Amino acid sequence: MKKVLIVSRRLERKNKPVNWVSEIYLQLLAERGLMPVIVPVAEATKLILTNYLADYAGLLLTEGGDVNPARYGENYQLAALEELDPIKDEIELACCRHALEHDKAILGICRGMHIINVAHGGTLLNDVHEHNHHQLLHIDYENYDTLRHPLRVEENTPLYAWYGEHEIRVNSYHHQGIKKLGNKLVPMAFSADGLIEAIYNPDKRFVVGLQFHPERMLPEYAGNYKVFDSFANAIK
């Protein structure tokens, strides 16, 4: 069975650090005959990361906190950023760069798209609402699952092939966003404020980043399932 790496997310619970992954990703992978392998965010993981990278077929990069601006050569007031985790940054970027070098299939969602962009030499906006002057809401802390906003989908892209529509309404919750697009990446969708909402690398087997969350709105478009189907097919 083909293995897909997922780097966990680290939070504090009852004064102790815990690692976790949203169950929906594990479910979607297993339903497609793929074995999820969770890479824990811990200092010691760096000592054994080569073992994870020795046997895998795909990489799923999921949501999480902000990427440290130092990772893409910018300075920003760190207190204004959310859920910074330097070890997660290090592990995810190492996994992403390894997957790119060895042409493994990569799917990045939300923060995962940011990691893909940074790994391609791109940069990030550290506050999308500061940038767009709050013209469009990209996160609603009280209504994560119900927030929707429209995207303009570019023709002749994988995203258009999956959804078959020029405009879709998507769920998102993110603080950062793409500023400078990484080398060789192609945008697939834009929000009304001009933010890039989906990317891919046409030179690779499968490298796709989505700013929105198809896994949180599965019944709304057949394309939400097709994203994961295509990722699985690229791996198999």
Catalytic residue list: 110, 213, 215
- How far apart CA 178 and CA 207 sit, in angstroms, is 16
- How far apart CA 67 and CA 69 sit, in angstroms, is 6
* Residue 6, beta-bridge partner list: 38, 60
DSSP letter for each residue of 121-181:
T--EES-HHHHTTTSS----TT-TTT--EEEEEPSSSHHHHHH--SEEEE----S-EESSP
Residue 15 backbone zone (phi > 0: left; psi -120 to 50: alpha; other: beta): left
